[in-house]
Amino acid sequence: MQPPELDGLRAGTVTLRRHPAPQLTFTPMRRQTPMARIPYAEKGQEAEGATPVYEQLEQAMGLVPNVVKLLGHSGPATQGIGTLLDIYFGQLSITDRVREIAYLTVARLNGCDYCQGHHVPAARQAGLLDMQIEDLGEDGFDSGEFSEPERAVIRFAYETTRDVKASDEAMEELKAHFSNQAIAEITFVVASGNFIQRVGKNLGVELEG
């Protein structure tokens, strides 16, 4: 039986829902040097409005991720990232493999160790090999380790992260392989990755453990 995921995260209202998609597997690592630039809002210290998100995440994932605790000082900000995580892990129509290719391309370009620490296991679970994960970046544009649609995702995610707006060529490659719905969702994943990683890197998020 799959663990419940997030649904309808609003202040004071949480609805559990189950999805067939595999649950993200976390691989906590020990912190060596404190890096957080503001304190984590630990459970019981979170702002009003953040508690339902904390409870739902703990039930669904077994913990409240540190990046959420950094936003836990603000109820609205916590609700926002909670909704984003619900959509990311439970509501998108694109495959887990495409989702993780897009997200990890962003994380590697941004140098986000925290995100890679969580999403490399998710990528492996989605069928990516370590050698493919290593190619998520410019090396993946022409890599024979990926299909043409996957190479298009890598290029789009890379250019969007580096330049904000991907080139017309990158967009045309996406359109050649994906529906409008899938393109919208890939763009959501890339933008979400950049959002979470900028929160984490600016506030000094550390891997749990």
Stretch 7-34: mean pLDDT? 41
Full 3-state SS string of 140-174: HCCCCCCCHHHHHHHHHHHHHHHHCCCCHHHHHHH
Tell whether the model's pLDDT for residue 34 goes beyond 80.
no
| Overall pTM > 0.85 | no
- Interval 134-163: pLDDT, tens: 999 988 898 989 999 999 999 999 999 999
Amino acid, res. 128: L
Quote the CA–CA distance of 141 and 135 in Å, as a whole number.
9
Domain layout of the chain by residue ranges: 96-202
Output phi, psi for 93, to 5 deg. Answer: -90, -20
Residue with tokens 């590697």: 108
Domain 96-202, architecture per CATH: Up-down Bundle (1.20)
Tell whether the model's pLDDT for residue 81 goes beyond 50.
yes
Q: What percent of the chain has pLDDT above 70?
A: 84
